[in-house]
Amino acid sequence: MNAPVLPVRLDFAPPRHDWTLEEVEGLFEMPFTDLVFRAAEVHRRGFDPTELQISQLLSVKTGGCPENCGYCSQSQHFKTATVASKLMAAEAVIAAAREAKAGGAQRFCMGAAWRDLKDRDVPRVAAMISGVKALGLETCATLGMLTPSQAAALKTAGLDFYNHNLDTGPDYYDQVVTTRTYQARLDTLTAVREAGISTCCGGIVGMGETRRDRAGLLHQLATLPAHPESLPINDLMPIPGTPLGGSTPVDPLEFVRMIAVARLVCPKSVVRIAAGREHMSKELQALCFLAGANSIFVGGRLLTTNNPDRNTDEALLADLKMRPMGTKLSETV
């Protein structure tokens, strides 16, 4: 589809919540250099372009998930190399968070392969959150669907962010997962917002979706009652044994377009290059930062996939003369 190229409103405040799908498609159709330039300009209206928010992610309960998300190695529907494990002890999670902070992480994210959080597990998860918070780190969790009362309990424990991705646009969603509805994901985001927790919500590219589907995802995010405070864009890491294990990679410039459009429609969100950096060149990552990305995961492992190691990321930031968000140039290596 050749959507019309539409003008971009560059005012930074307040962000728009009235984007149409056709407008978002129009942004994707802009000439590449013009799109990146406009996204970079909007980015500089709200952020220091030399800073990155640094997060680290730990799988606190791995595998055995009853969902059938076609990209996930942790689903019990697929035969993958992932070995299921029980929920970690809070002490072990806090120790990992302490090590992450020493390595430069500013936010510590805890992920559990659940369809939904069970009330019986809330006290153990709350202990993890409060312990990580006491270290001076921002806290984030991704635990599946939440009820309003569970969200309130996590907020009381000190949870700053809750990650619950929409994965893709609504028209393509049932090609990726059929065990959970799109509306169920939106309902969890509502519970999180109403509990006063910041939302971390984005999706994945490279699952066979069209550009219109990518626009559909960003349209959903841009028309939420509040834009997600963190907006992760994952480049699919194909996992052998999953339905999407043989997916064709997205063209790198298309990934940059996704970052740029995310920056334009959600100008105040922290846009993260999430999964997929392991197979990205430093030049591609630099283009993403230019187009408005300002967050990455560090550490050699995400949930079950590889991530660049600490030395690689330190070299990348040094080459680009970038630094962790909120630090001074003199504090960086």
Segments in the chain forming alpha helices (H): 21-28, 32-46, 90-102, 122-133, 148-157, 182-194, 211-222, 252-265, 282-290, 310-320
Choose the catalytic residue: 109, 201, 266, 288. Answer: 109
Nearest to 221 by CA among 151, 283, 272, 295: 272
Q: What is the DSSP string of 106-163?
A: SEEEEEE--SB--GGGHHHHHHHHHHHHTTT-EEEEE-SB--HHHHHHHHHHT--EEE
Active-site residue, 200 included: yes
* Distance set, CA 299 to CA 206, 226, 306 (Å): 23, 30, 9
The one-character DSSP state at 104 is T
Q: 38, 107, 263, 272: which is the annotated catalytic residue?
A: 272
Active site residue 140: yes
288 among known catalytic residues: no
- Pairing mode, if any, of strands 161-163 and 138-142? parallel
Residue 201 known to be catalytic: no
Active-site pick, 65, 201, 266, 288: 65
Among 38, 69, 107, 323, the active-site one is 69
Q: Is 72 a catalytic residue?
A: yes
Residue type, 25: E
Catalytic residue, candidates 38, 180, 185, 200: 200
| HEC profile of 35-54 | HHHHHHHHHHHHCCCCEEEE
Count of Cβ atoms closer than 10 Å to residue 32 Cβ: 14
Q: What's the token pair of residue 304?
A: 């079950």
Q: Which amino acid is at 266?
A: C
Catalytic residue among 72, 201, 266, 288: 72
* Tokens read off for 205: 């590219």
Catalytic-labelled residue, pool 140, 201, 266, 288? 140
Nearest to 34 by CA among 289, 260, 286, 270: 260
CB 323 within 8 A of CB 52: yes
Instruction: List the catalytic residues.
Output: 65, 69, 72, 109, 140, 200, 272
